[in-house]
Amino acid sequence: MLTTGPRGTKDILPESSAYWQYIETVARDVCRMFAYQEIRTPIFEHTELFLRGIGETTDIVEKEMYTFTDRGGRNITLRPENTAAVVRSFLENKLYAGAQPTKLFYIGPMFRYDRPQAGRFRQFHQFGVEVLTAQGPAVDAEIIMLAVNFFKTLGLDDLQLYINSVGCPVCRPLYRSKLQEFLRDKLSHLCSDCQSRFDRNPMRILDCKKEGCNKHSEGAPQMVDCLCEECREHFSQLKELLSATGVDFNLNPRLVRGLDYYTKTAFEIQYAPLGAQSAVCGGGRYDGLVSECGGQETPGIGFAIGLERVMLALEKQRLLPEKKDGIDVFIAPIGAEMQIPAFVLLGKLREAKLTADMDYMGRVIKAQMKHANKYPARYVAIIGETEAATGKVMLKNMSSGEQTLIAVDEVADRIYMETGE
């Protein structure tokens, strides 16, 4: 039906857009404090970028991408996440030639063919940050602090930060071998997805949300017990930095995240009252992603925050700001011949930075007054033949009901004087 949007999409109506603007403003303000700059990448990219960047064994690539062939025969994908796209832009635009590290943030829509439910849509929005060329644990701690600061600025509490280390190419093969050995005799009890992951990427089995797989992977070896000296030291320093700055965290040895490009630090922030969709932020280090996308070996780290889930959390805690509805002035012309003086006054009021509108529907004055109340309008400026002939308007204060005949050029000043603005 043409009157119904595609499944998994949602219109953001005027009554809600102010809330989105509020969240986005907080995100931009926090990023400015942390010296991050905004980047805006295309909504679609070459499919190969995500195949190489995200990993062919991930659910995103295997099941969830919106991929199509364009009229030029190119294989194109709507971005399912933005890290790979930021890395592509970093390389293409030679951002590595500027002052380092490169610290970026983005806000925008992503697309995944997923089962729609509360807090999960097929077109959804993320706020994320990426830092490239810096590899020390202090940068890991900084972006975690940035995420925590964002949530605190919004007033959200009851949030839990979970961290883990997923190792690196040096120590991960040992863990992979131990994990496969542990899971081998349980393989027949795992879901088909986890069975296919056993050889390709067994760590992803720990990320499975199905109860049966969780049960049979209980007691599995932990990555933190197999870390090489470099990864162990990196993780230890991260924990020290978070503790030193008062950031509470929990260790979660099963936290591996759903993307293949993560190395060393992985973290997630959860808001438990959201139930199955409790993860509101997830991120980690991806020191091999830039080279996988065709660049030099370059360290990187980032996170993404699902804004639909943030909105749900703010609603649950009743933290959304009070909306400032209405306009300053509604202009009510009496008769079609008064349209021109009304339109001229409308321009003057807007030049004076007042929010103003007028009747465009040819309503009678009674209907116009009812319409003004629907905004609601603080004042109504009535223009009839008598007022127009003398260069004046009848200005009505809709709160007090007081009416004053006033010169057109004095309307804005009178409103500012009475409102104290």
Residue 119 has pLDDT above 80, yes or no: no
Q: Are residues 293 and 331 in the same domain?
A: no
Q: Are residues 236 and 144 in the same domain?
A: yes
Q: Are residues 307 and 331 in the same domain?
A: no
Q: What is the pLDDT of residues 321-360, one digit of tens each?
A: 987 789 999 999 999 999 999 999 999 999 999 999 999 9
Percent of the chain with pLDDT over 70: 98
pLDDT confidence tier of residue 216, bands split at 50, 70 and 90: confident
Q: Are residues 414 and 350 in the same domain?
A: yes
Q: Is residue 201 part of a domain?
A: no
Q: Is residue 23 part of a domain?
A: yes
**Based on the structure, what is the number of domains in the chain?**
2
Domain that residue 88 falls in = 14-171+227-316
Q: Are residues 103 and 82 in the same domain?
A: yes
Q: Are residues 28 and 78 in the same domain?
A: yes
Residue 139 has pLDDT above 80, yes or no: yes
137-154 vs 229-244: helix crossing angle, rounded to 10: 40
Q: Are residues 73 and 167 in the same domain?
A: yes
> pTM of the full predicted structure?
0.89
**DSSP secondary structure string for all residues of 5-27:** PPTT-----HHHHHHHHHHHHHH
Q: Is residue 222 part of a domain?
A: no
Residue 120 has pLDDT above 90, yes or no: no
Higher-confidence residue of 30 and 63: namely 30
**What's the pLDDT score for residue 32?**
98
Last residue of a domain, one of 316, 339, 361: 316
Q: Is residue 357 part of a domain?
A: yes
Mean pLDDT of 149-168: 94
Please state, as a whole number, how many other Cβ atoms lie within 10 Å of the Cβ of residue 57.
15
Distance CA 266, CA 282 (A): 8
Q: Are residues 162 and 31 in the same domain?
A: yes
Q: Are residues 247 and 129 in the same domain?
A: yes
The residues that bridge with 161 in the sheet, in sequence order, are 269
Q: Are residues 286 and 389 in the same domain?
A: no
Q: Is residue 413 part of a domain?
A: yes
Q: Is residue 4 part of a domain?
A: no
Q: What is the pLDDT of residues 23-51, one digit of tens each?
A: 999 999 999 999 999 999 999 999 999 98
Q: Are residues 387 and 250 in the same domain?
A: no
Q: Is residue 96 part of a domain?
A: yes
Last residue of a domain, one of 316, 338, 355: 316
Q: Spell 374-399 as b/e; 16+ CB within 10 A means b.
A: ebebbbbbbbbeebbeeebbbbbbbe
Residue 196 has pLDDT above 70, yes or no: yes
The torsion defined by the Cα of 167, 170, 172 and 173, in degrees rounded to 10, comes to: 180
Q: CATH number, domain at 348?
A: 3.40.50.800
The one-letter amino acid code at 366 reads K
Give the least confident one: 42-46, 141-145, 159-163, 172-176.
Answer: 172-176
Last residue of a domain, one of 281, 316, 351: 316
Measured at the CA of 227, the angle between CA 224 and CA 233, to 5 degrees, comes to 95
**What's the pLDDT score for residue 259?**
61
pLDDT confidence tier of residue 232, bands split at 50, 70 and 90: very high
Q: Are residues 273 and 133 in the same domain?
A: yes
Q: Is residue 207 part of a domain?
A: no
Q: CATH number, domain at 235?
A: 3.30.930.10
